[in-house]
């Protein structure tokens, strides 16, 4: 698998003009790169408006609901996302766990719904107990999730995001991140890609991939600065 660099714009920028500007600058800056995949996850209102014609850039969403349609005010379904050309969806980000009180079971239902619609869920965890049982090896400690998605689990991606590193400017050390990656991998019943997220910047990006062995990165703050994000992509591409 090609390394995956996911830009999580969170609740930014605050205007469509700003979103277009950021997207177009990133697009220009990485147009010659072929050996990795970049996923841009803007806020929902910009998903259908930013114009993507570059094959290495894929669209991602920052969340989705678990039902397809119906009386669920304010929710966005995987079917709607798929229809807009979205391929990836971040699920269970720690900020959603914190501000929207998302619990593991809700998160697992979202993963199931996303898979059913052919989206690739990026499940964010900061500790091993958050891994659902359907991704764990048999015989190990069971996760808290009773669901059994029927859909193939090959499409799930894990993002290890230690809480202390998210948005703090204090990234996890390469050694500790590597240990966690290995510990997570040991628990998994499939060969699922594991990304690192938490204060990634152009200085440390390459080491998480090259030294700590992650299959890619989830980038928050640094993805809002086009030049910094382009540097991250280039540094990983040259790793």
> Before 13, cis peptide (omega within 30)?
yes
Q: Any contact of residue 157 with ligand PGA (CB under 6 A)?
A: no
Size of the site for ligand PGA (CB under 6 A): 13
Nearest approach in angstroms of CB 220 to ligand PGA is 2
Does 218 engage in binding with ligand PGA (CB under 6 A)?
Answer: yes
- Residue number, 155 or 161, with CB nearest to ligand PGA: 161
Residue among 166, 172, 184, 236 that touches ligand PGA (CB under 6 A): 166
Where residue 85 falls (left for φ over 0; alpha for ψ -120 to 50; beta otherwise) is: left
Q: How far is the CB of 34 from ligand PGA (least distance, A)?
A: 25
How far are the Cα atoms of 35, 173, 211 from residue 236, in angstroms, in the given order? Answer: 9, 17, 11
Please identify, using beta-carbon distances, which residue of 38 and 219 lies nearer to ligand PGA: 219
- Closest contact distance (angstroms) between CB of 38 and ligand PGA is 15
Residue 198 contacts ligand PGA per CB under 6 A = yes
Contact residue for ligand PGA among 22, 56, 219, 232 (CB under 6 A): 219
Residues 6+ apart with CB under 8 A from 107: 91, 92, 97, 123
Cα(35)–Cα(200) distance, integer angstroms: 20
Q: Does 30 bind ligand PGA (CB under 6 A)?
A: no
199 in contact with ligand PGA (CB under 6 A): yes
Buried b (16+ CB within 10 A) or exposed e, 106-124: bbbbbbbbbbebebbbbbb
Asked if 197 contacts 226 with a C-beta cutoff of 8 angstroms, the reply is: no
Taking CB under 6 A as the rule, does residue 8 contact ligand PGA? yes
Choosing from 38, 86, 119, 200, the residue that interacts with ligand PGA (CB under 6 A) is: 200
Region near ligand PGA per CB under 6 A, out of 39-47, 64-72, 100-108, 216-224: 216-224
CA 78 – CA 68 distance, rounded (Å): 7
The Cα–Cα gap between 231 and 203 comes to 9
3-state secondary structure of 239: coil
**In this chain, which residue has its C-beta nearest to ligand PGA?**
220
Which residues are the active-site residues?
A: 93, 161
Residue 221 near ligand PGA by CB under 6 A: yes
In angstroms, give the least distance from the CB of 127 to ligand PGA. Answer: 16
Task: Please tell me whether residue 158 binds ligand PGA under the rule CB under 6 A.
Answer: no
Question: 3-state SS of 123-157?
Answer: EEECCHHHCCHHHECCCCCCCCCCCCCCCCHHHCE
Footprint of ligand PGA on this chain (CB under 6 A)?
8, 161, 166-167, 197-200, 218-222
């Amino acid at each position: 698998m090609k390394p995956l660099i996911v830009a999580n714009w969170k609740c930014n920028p605050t205007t469509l003009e700003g979103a277009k500007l950021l997207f177009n600058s990133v697009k220009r800056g990485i147009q010659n790169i072929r050996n990795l995949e970049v996923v841009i996850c803007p806020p929902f209102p910009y998903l259908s408006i930013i114009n993507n014609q570059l094959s290495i850039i894929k669209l991602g969403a920052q969340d989705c609901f678990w039902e397809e349609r119906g009386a669920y005010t304010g929710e966005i379904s995987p079917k709607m996302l798929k229809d807009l050309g979205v391929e990836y969806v971040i699920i269970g980000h720690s900020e959603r766990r914190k501000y929207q009180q998302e619990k593991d079971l809700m998160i697992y239902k979202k993963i199931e719904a996303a898979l059913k619609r052919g989206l690739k869920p990026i499940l964010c965890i900061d500790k091993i107990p958050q891994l659902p049982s359907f991704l764990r090896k048999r015989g190990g400690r069971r996760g808290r999730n009773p669901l059994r998605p029927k859909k193939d689990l090959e499409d799930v991606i894990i993002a290890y995001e230690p809480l202390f590193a998210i948005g703090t400017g204090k990234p996890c050390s390469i050694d500790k991140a590597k240990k966690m990656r290995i510990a997570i991998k040991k628990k998994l019943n499939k060969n699922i890609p594991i990304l690192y997220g938490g204060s990634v910047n152009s200085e440390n990006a390459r080491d998480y991939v090259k030294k700590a062995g992650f299959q890619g990165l989830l980038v928050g703050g640094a993805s809002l600065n086009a030049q910094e994000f382009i540097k991250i992509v280039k540094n990983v591409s040259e790793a």
